[in-house]
Structure 1
Amino acid sequence: MTAIDLNSDLGESYGAWGMGDDAAMLAIVSSANIACGFHAGDPLGILKTVKAAAERGVSVGAHVSYPDRVGFGRRDMGVTSPELTADVIYQIGALKGVAAAAGVVVGYVKPHGALYNRIAHDPIQGQAVIDGIKAIDPDLVLMGLAGAPILKLAHKSGLKTVAEAFADRAYTAGGELVSRREPGAVLHDTTVIARRMLQLAHEGTIEAIDGSTIKVDAQSICVHGDSPGAVAIAQAIRQAFETDGITVRSFLAA
């Protein structure tokens, strides 16, 4: 692999409550998953982040979520398909409007938190998200968990997709993310994380939490913007890639 996308979840601050360091992350990543107001983010903060992404030449994607501010979008919800489709349309539409004001376009959609994990294997909610994306802009790319059925479902429905791996999360032997409720689910050691991502880029594999080696075919790597030490993690990955001759570049520019 000679080039790979590095993305982060940004625009998640709300009023006086700051979340992450968007400015620092935008100097490192190539794609920004921007909150759309349902799990986090307020209009002014979202606009500032989109403008900053535009100035940096960073691709912009809609980080859609269940309507769950209190739980930061990390609580599963049994919403109906019509509700979920409408929620996705609403959120993408909001970010498209902000992006237009900033002179950029929204190029992809990445579901957030519990919604991301739910649709990875739930074809009913997955199809509802896909239907929402197609209804507002069928040219948008869906970003999803590498190896998850949602990517095949999206392809079958006519959407382009990009498979994603997580730098700062542990994996099960089955290729899923270890639940945040479990010990060791979130990784913090920048040296270990950078080494894992180099292995991913070169071999398409990663070490699972039980020590086994699993196949992960991903074109994008995520560093959560709200994780402790997120900027240091992203910097370590980018430096490791550049030292190794791997270019950090948005998958939309490929």
Structure 2
Amino acid sequence: MPSTSDFVKKLYKMLEDQSFQRVIPWVPQGDCFVVKVHSILPHMFKPSNCAIFVRQLNKYDFHKVENTDDNTFGERSWTFCHPNFHADRREALENIKCKGGLQGGLQGGAGTRGMGPGMGIGPTDPSTYIQHLQPQITQLTATQEELSSHMRNLERNVGTLEHGLGGLERNYHEVLIEMIGFQRNMSQQDFVMQGLIEWVLRGGPNGGGGGSSGSGNAGNGGSDGE
């Protein structure tokens, strides 16, 4: 497609890339596309903000349409349409022209009045952009793995503490049972000692029969004297 602008080709290629479906997809009918994540645009195109990107679309006669259902793509999403920009009509891209025939304003090299070279198309395609992000993705993945490992260690430590607390609780109950048994034995011993003391105070085993034995002996002595 030699007559198709780089801007339109890159936009179409980006929509074909499955890795960008979560940020800039086609609508189900394939006659419009939706920008769901605005922050992705400055990374893919030279304009440094979304307003300039929208102006570029307007120069190619793209029209922003109102979303009938914000729940489908989100309240902050943008939907754009063009009669010759369809998911299944790649050949129609040749019919998309810059208004007034000035395509240079959207190209990276030649800038039109009011638009410098920095407002053109970026030199990288989506796959190159993904490769550029790969080190960050790798670092994030490693950080996530490290956090997951730390969480697993914490879970093991918590399990060990719970097991230790369970053992302490069992030991506490065992000691408590032993203390209750010891107190019961002490009470029984106190009862026995109290009974023994009372028995001794009453005279012990000879306390009740000592007087009768003495009277008997005295009587016997009197009989002998006679």
Highest RCO, 1 vs 2 (Cα 8 Å, sep ≥ 6): 1
Larger strand share, 1 or 2: 1
TM-score (normalised: structure 1):
0.25
Q: Which has the larger radius of gyration?
A: 2
Larger helix share, 1 or 2: 2
